[in-house]
Amino acid sequence: MNLKNKMMLLVMILGFSLAGCGGGDNPGGGAVTISGVAAAGAPVSGIVNVKGANGEVASSPINTDGTYSLDVSSLTPPYILFAEGTVNGKGIKIYSVGVSAGTINITPVTDFILRNAIGRSVETAFNSWGTTQVSEAALSTAETDVQTQLTPLLNAMGVPSDTDLLTTPFQADHSGLDAVLDAIEISYNGNTATIVNNLTGSSYTDDVTVLGDSSGLPAADEAGSQGALTDAQAINAFWKSLEDLFVTAPSSTAITDWVNNRIAEDFLDEGQNKTNLLNDWLSDNDPIIGETFSAVIVAPIDVSATVYTKGYSVRVSFSNNIESGDFLTPMVFDGATWLWFGDRKWLDTGANASAFMSVSGGVVPNTFSTGFELSLEDDFNFAFNKGVRSAVVRGPGLPADGVVYEHRFPDPSFGIFGSFGVFFIISDDALISAIPDNAEYTFTLCSETAIDLANNGTGSCTVLQTYTDTVIKPPLLNSELNASKFASLTNPSTHNLSSLNFGGQISVNWTKPANTNSRQVFFIWSASSTRFSLSVDVEGGGTSAVLDTTDLPVSDGFAGLFVRVGDNFGRDFNMGWSFF
């Protein structure tokens, strides 16, 4: 071997032996970055954390479009990453891995690849990454295995089956690789992964400790997924027609024609039927002028007991000048037209981790409480007319036999039996500490009265319907509560009723804690033994609102102003300001 070849061999040996032991991917100095997209059917709202082989860590927030960028100059490859936050109203924590800086995506598929490559817990791998990493060969083998399993779905989306699922740049725009993420759902039970193609309902299981043990999705899923994509285009055309209808204020005739032709005759959504919906829209309550919509298919639905030929549960994203968000709703096909079917619920249910701070002023100190807002709203009394007189709510942190709610007909709401409100207070921090993330709460509708359930036990409930809601994060501990968690009112600045411009516009201003968004201002007062209320929704970073009390009665004794902010995990923080 000549001198030149010996020197080249020496450089190769040294380069290999020093990998992961120096100052990162750029020993010569300068910034080294990792960037990519963190998404799981929608962008992750949260943060990205990365650890290098030298044990050093870095973190960065995720942008609203799912992109992120990290300076990893102090880290050495290979890298292990995780994105933690929320997607579509649920908490999520997904992992990824990279052998060098550059593009590294973080998705359920990258998480699946990493688990197959290491054959053990990803959490354990992250914690021990400073001493034990993954080989590039194992990572390559695992990715090839996953590519093979997902080939029918990749082909249907026009994504080459040999696409590098870890490092290929993409956008969270429901096309290409992102459309694959929209369609796929991966869950784990120990070392067994269950992979579902939501477009077709097909599924398979995979032992992540054994490579090559699963053939993956059936070949027929390619055509089945393509058919569902065609349906998705038609469903989006449906929502685009609604968007077009409300570009400007439509006539009552145009609204009526749209509802008659686009809403299923047996439409039912949180107790609202087709006639209720039409009347609501004709009263200018919904939608908002200029509102935009888009939809993705979540899963097929069973329409065998209906007159329809097929249907899907779809997630509809919306945005207007007040708020943005998404909701799940079924769509059905009658053989000619896609129709809005509604969520089939008799009423609206909601479960939120919440905290309250009451500010009375004077010598009375602020008081705090934490727990859940568990609400049932029967706005059209549909549930009452179906015989519902009470409800039982069960879930982590609540009493074993549940919390009893009573229907307050003719008022279309429920309240905790023996109490005025819907807020269930938890004073024991040990109970809160035992509540997991993404805890499920069931709302069981009963024909018995609340007093009958209280006397005879919740087990005596004759079940009429049962619904489930998910709480992303448990409530704050009582020991964590202090004024810094809540909005701080700057106007009004006194507790004197005379400071309010009753009969006109009341300006409300506040500051909010970091990492929270403003959600709502709610105002209640009494006049001649009658209760009145006003509310204003506030979007994102807003810190002001105007309450219009023109032509409304002046309070004759008490009023309360509530400013609600919330964090990225769906938890609400309510500041209540009393007036006398």
Q: How far is CA 227 from CA 64, 69, 177, 439, in A?
A: 30, 36, 18, 35
Q: At residue 403, what are phi and psi to the nearest 5 degrees?
A: -110, 130
- pLDDT single digits (tens) 548-566: 999 888 888 788 999 999 9
Q: Which residues pair with 548 in a beta bridge?
A: 505
323, two tokens: 């708020």
Residue 17 has pLDDT above 50, yes or no: no
Cβ partners under 8 Å of residue 63, min gap 6: 43
The 8-class DSSP code of residue 43 comes to B
Residue 4 has pLDDT above 80, yes or no: no
- pLDDT single digits (tens) 119-176: 889 999 999 998 889 989 999 999 999 999 999 999 999 999 999 999 999 999 989 9
What whole-number distance in Å separates Cα of residue 134 and Cα of residue 137?
8
- Element (H or E) spanning 243, and its range? helix 221-245
pLDDT at 459: 94
* Cβ count near 527 (within 10 Å): 16
Query: For residues 356 and 341, is the Cβ–Cβ distance under 8 A?
Result: no
Over residues 86-113, mean pLDDT: 94
pLDDT at 362: 67
Greatest extent of the chain over all pairs of C-alpha atoms, in Å: 104
User: Yes or no: is domain 223-340 CATH 2.60.40?
Assistant: no
- Element (H or E) spanning 147, and its range? helix 136-149
**Closest Cα partner for 523 from 467, 469, 448, 575?**
575
pLDDT at 14: 31
Q: How far is CA 388 from CA 25, 267, 407, 450, 452, in A?
A: 64, 20, 8, 10, 13
Query: For residues 93 and 46, is the Cβ–Cβ distance under 8 A?
Result: no
Please name the fold of domain 483-579.
Answer: Immunoglobulin-like (2.60.40)
pLDDT category of residue 569 using cuts at 50, 70 and 90: confident
pLDDT at 26: 57
Over residues 181-196, mean pLDDT: 94
Report the chain's mean pLDDT, rounded to a whole number.
90
296, two tokens: 């993705």
What whole-number distance in Å separates Cα of residue 545 and Cα of residue 533?
15
Q: CA angle, corner 515, sides to 40 and 91, nearest 5?
A: 30
160, two tokens: 């080459």
Q: CA angle, corner 137, sides to 133 and 141, nearest 5?
A: 110
pLDDT at 502: 86
Cβ partners under 8 Å of residue 386, min gap 6: 346, 464
* Cβ count near 234 (within 10 Å): 12
pLDDT at 20: 35
pLDDT at 463: 98
- pLDDT single digits (tens) 66-87: 999 999 999 999 999 999 998 8
pLDDT at 570: 86
CA-derived radius of gyration, the chain: 27
What whole-number distance in Å separates Cα of residue 486 and Cα of residue 185?
36
**pTM for this prediction:** 0.82
- pLDDT single digits (tens) 257-315: 999 999 999 999 999 999 999 999 999 777 889 999 999 999 999 999 999 999 999 99
Residue ranges per structural domain of the chain: 21-219, 223-340, 348-477, 483-579
pLDDT at 28: 53
**Residue whose token pair is 């809601």:** 469
Tell me, yes or no, if the two domains 223-340 and 483-579 fold the same way.
no
Q: Beta-strand (E) ranges in 62-119?
A: 67-71, 79-87, 90-98, 102-103
Over residues 370-384, mean pLDDT: 95
Cis peptide before 77 (omega within 30 of 0): no
